[in-house]
Amino acid sequence: MPELPEVETTARGIAPFLIGQKFVSVRVNQPSLRWPIPSDFSQRLLNEVCVSVTRRAKYLLIETETTKILSHLGMSGSFRLVDSKTPLKLHDHVQILVGSLELRYHDPRRFGCLLWADSERARQLIDNLGPEPLSDTFCGEWLYLQSKRRNIAVKSFIMTNSVVVGVGNIYASESLFLAGIHPARPANRISFARYNNLATQVKKVLSCAIEAGGTTLRDFVNGQGEPGYFQQTLSVYGRAGDPCKRCCHAIGNRMIAGRNSFFCPQCQT
């Protein structure tokens, strides 16, 4: 599933080509995504001028002069900018023409969404989200205070959207490794100093992933159809049984809250 770095990469990739441009044609080929694309989608966007492309958590926000779209990429979604004459792919569900280029939403599993940001469904998705991990609000003190009454595993804790947004399974595993914290350790049994370090590592991991264009483990490509390369630097995720890059002990794997969690039994306590 595309996570925060993948969505940020997408936003940065398509923004220069959309901002200031008019949507001269809008076509919905398949409205049945996770939630139906609004029936007035094409009508409301036609001839609108894009004013911003931003991200909130794992959601992409495309704003025009009068409206705003909220999109989630689901399990396999992607936005691609292609020449308008490029043949359609089977799962290109939405086409938005901007000059000679076309923005296409592609989603084989159709688990993503395209909603009006002011709709009740969209507000339910974003109104109660926690701070952005790359913001000043997110810090060790914030994590420490939020953890006081949480005895859940720390990995689940930092993947909770009301605590911090966008720290998905891959990046939680990597951040905890760099911080030397075992993913199953109860959140309320971690010191302030260790949370300070963890917050620093979360910021570091996400920033590096964004610079590398995200992590391509299944379907993700950026706005130009290119894969991300952060997976080439992964320390623990997906490496069960391989030697730890620090101590050479075999990387472990266990289920935590229904998710595969990778860690070094020697380096993480």
Confirm whether 194 is a catalytic residue: no
Burial of residue 266 (CB within 10 Å: 0-12, 13-18, 19+) is middle
Q: Which of 3, 8, 63, 102 is catalytic?
A: 3
3-state secondary structure of 194: helix
CB atoms within 10 A of CB 68: 16
CA distance linking residue 143 with residue 36, whole number of Å: 36
32-38-40-46 Cα dihedral, nearest 10 degrees: -80
Q: Which of 55, 58, 155, 194 is catalytic?
A: 58
Q: 167 and 159 in contact (C-beta within 8 Å)?
A: yes
Confirm whether 102 is a catalytic residue: no
Q: Which of 12, 44, 259, 265 is catalytic?
A: 259
Q: 78 and 13 in contact (C-beta within 8 Å)?
A: no
Confirm whether 63 is a catalytic residue: no
Q: Which of 2, 5, 131, 183 is catalytic?
A: 2
Confirm whether 87 is a catalytic residue: no
Q: What amino acid positions are annotated as catalytic residues?
A: 2-3, 58, 259
